[in-house]
Structure formats: structure tokens, C-alpha cells
Structure 1
Amino acid sequence: MVGRLRRDRHGDGGATQVRPPDPHPSGARPPAIPPELVPRHVALVMDGNGRWAEQRGLPRTEGHRRGEAVLLDLVCGCIELGVGRLSAYAFSTENWKRSPDEVRFLMGFNRDVIRRRRDEMHEMGVRVRWAGRRRRLWRSVIRELEVAEELTAANSVMTLTMCVNYGGRAEIADAAREIARRVARGELDPERVDERLLARHLDEPDMPDVDLFLRPSGEQRISNFLLWQSAYAELVFQDVLFPDLDRRDLWRACEAYAARDRRFGGAVPSVPLNPDARRPR
């Protein structure tokens, strides 16, 4: 892959080289999917870390640690295939129900992963974004997310959205609450509230709809992830735990996506009957 150019927003305005992603250790290359059939936005539920560890007699936290390299590999796979956006479910609003020890680990782990990987993401031209609620989230996690957002703001190879302290219902409720406040202040006519206006009040208003919703681990549910954005997403469930996932699984999911007929609520074109066949004989 030829390196691309990125504008340096903190320097003299010159262009800097973006390095290509590391190849897969097996030498595998992405499938030849026509560009118009490659999903633009993939939503990823990173599920199965705890079960992976327990099956090996390890602490649940070891599964999360293994998942760090998997996420980076998937980012590389997205760049190689041409997927423009990957949104990763890193910590949900429901994950606070887990044990205090696991919650503490996940908070610190998310913070440290972002700190460790942000320069690598920046070198590959990845723009890092954050979606989720600020309240209850550790200030150190927020700080690392904001630093990563600022560092990578001008990148355009792809966008990685880290969904931390995120819930689809919470996102919609927060948007509705802000709209209600604007109506109460007289800033907004309630008759003007429609789908487009609500979308502009979501965590990431410029986030496009999800094309491919990918969940490994064998579970077949969306678990409150990107509910609004996934209204017409194609769902792919894979029987592999997240720590064992790699970009080849992502590519297989993209091939399944490319083979589907997306109608967005439209009807399948019907074949007209022979007029003579409808006449009584």
C-alpha cells in the first residue's frame, strides 16, 4: 500500500506521510470486494473476553488484555479493505453492574489502551472519536479520550469511535432531554422535531448509519449498541470469542454483507405476470 499524506494541524501546515497498516502475520490479503459493496461503517461488539479467559483457567481480565491487540488488528483490516468507520463497544452503561474489581480494571484498561495506541493510530491516519456519557466515567479516561481526539482530528484514512460508557437508549434519552430543554427555553418549535433534528443531538451527529453490525462470541443480540444508527444495519454473528478474532473474520463478515440485498424497507421488484395467465379460460 502506498503511504498517504496527512496535514499536520500543529505544525507549519505541511503534509506528513501516513504509514500503511501492518500486514497480517499469515500474509492474508483482503478479499476483492467491489468498493461500492464494502460497508462504510462497521459496528463491533467486542464480546467473549471473559468466557475466553475462563475457558483457559485465567482471570477474566486476561481476556480483555488479549482484546487490545485484536482491536488494533481489526483497524488494520478496515484500512486494507477500505472500511471508513469502525465503532467499537468498549464499555456500556450496563457494564457498571459488573463486579467493582472488573469495573476498576476496565476503566484503567480503557484509559491505558488509548494512551498506548493513540500514536500508532495517528501514524496510520486513523481519527479517534469518543461516544458515551461523561458522568460516572473516570476523569483520567475522559482526558485520554480527549487527547486522542485532539491529536488525530485531522486524520482521514478511517475513523475509530471508542464507545465508552455508552448505551443506545441512554444516547436517545439524552438527545430527547436536550431537545425538551430547548423547547422549554423557547428556542425550538416542537412541531419542528423530526428524525433529522433528533439525530443532530446524538453523541456523534456526523456518524453515518451502521452498514454492518458485527458481533462475535456466538451471542445473537445487539445489546443496546448504536440503536438509532443500526436501524437498517445488516447483522452478522460469528461463533468465535473476541480474543480469537482477527481481520480475516472481519473480511468474511464484509463478504457476507456484500452478498446481501439491502432494500431499506422497499419491496422486492415483482415479476409481472403474463396477462393471458390471469384470464379465465
Structure 2
Amino acid sequence: MLQVLGPDQLPDIPNKDALLLLAVHSYIPVPSNPRPEIIEAVLERLQGRDITITFSMSKSYFEKAVKILGLEKLAAKYRAKILQVQGNARERLELQSPTGKKVVVKALQQAFDDSLMKIALAMPVSHSQTILYLSMPTASLNVIDPKDLQNLYEGFRHLYKYISDIYKQEKNIVCLIDGKFVVEGDGPVKGFQRYWGLTIYGDNCGEVDYATAWGLGVQPLDIGYIYFYFDGREPAIEMPKTLAENRTKIKLSSNVGIQLSWKRQR
């Protein structure tokens, strides 16, 4: 399932208890953080359900970001809970790097609970770590204890494979790209915002991210976590007409050459 809608339009999100995973890039106000209005739109759609909001940051940064994003007011308005990953991630995950090395991290158990819907909410950002920080990294990295996240940063190739492998273990995820704006250049803090005007949604983050990258003029398999998810093969995805009609070219970070070096790493 892959849907493309206009700006500020939400698809028919299943009305279930949910864990809302946010792609929060900084505790200071930056254009790449999720827009409060789209967060509120999701909460309003799920009003009456048991909703938990989370993202992975150290305790002090998490508390600052919650205040800056206005999440306390939104949570109170829609009777949602706010959950810190740090201190609540107790599920033990054993991951294997491309070189065979094993890494153990702690994750939120809720991410692997098939009865609970997970909503990964992200927006396209061109920056020095992942080129486009889309829904799969949001779903994967924001359930990992922030103290353990540093164990995943052993080079881009390792990180991308970990993102893909974590996502493949998660259950019942929907993926929402808020593409009203894209953040170009050396983001997330130094990037600048440009209007795009799309909302991309689906129940497979690999397909959603592939379509989003394609729509932004980026070769999808150049993005490592998409490459690993599809085992290096082009998937058979039919691009929605609205996306094809609005295909554009995002300005990438000046470090794009470094970002693509993961293909040469072993």
C-alpha cells in the first residue's frame, strides 16, 4: 500500500492504540523537526485510543525537545503519554554488522508487539548522516536506548544495515512522510526549507522511503538502508501519479560524496 496526498492531508490511519515515533533531529528549533500541526493531526485522528509519543534522545535533550515541540500541551489535549526511550528500552537485540561483528543494543519492547500500531513520522532532510532521514531510520533508531545508539555508528555501511535489520524485526508499522517541506543542504540545523507539497504514506517503510527518494530526484539504492532492505535489487514499485507529477530535485548536503562512501566499505 502506497499513497500520495497533498500537503497537510492525512490518509486513513487505522484507529488503533499506537506508538508515535518522531524524527526529532535537535532539541533546538530547527525546520527539520516534525511540524507540531502534523503531530496534532495524527493525534486528533487517533483521539480516544491509547497513544504514546516517543523518540530517542538522552534525558536532558529529550526534555528540552518535548518542551520546544509543544508535546506536553498536545499530549494533555489528546490524553496521550510521552515515553522516554532511555530507561524504558529493555528488549535485547543482537545485530550483525556487514563484517560479521555482533552488536547488542536495548530497544523498546512495544516496537515488536504486533498488537500495537507504530507510526513513524518523518520529513525529508538532506544532511551528512543519512542523506534523507526518512521513515525507516525513524522507526528503527527511535526505539533504541540513546546510550546504545553510539554502538551503531561504526561507519555508514554498518549503520545502514543496522537500520534495515532493526526495521525488519518490528511489527505493525505505518510510515508517514510529511513532505509539505523538504530541508535541503547541510541540515538538519543548517539546512534550509523548501516547499514540496506532498504527504507519502504506506505500511512498508522500505517502499515509502524508496518512493520518497525517487520523488526527490535521489537514486533510492544510493541510500544504504534502502539498499540493504531490498537486498540491493530494484523493487517492483509502481509510482503513484501524483508523485510522478511532482517529481523534483532536492539539494543534497555538501558531504554527499562521503555519505555514498558506504558502497566502498566492507
Q: What TM-score range do you get, normalising by the shorter chain?
A: 0.3 to 0.5
TM-score (norm: length of structure 1): 0.33
With the length of structure 2 as denominator, give the TM-score of the two structures.
0.34
Structure that is richer in strand per residue: 2
Higher Cα Rg, which structure: 1
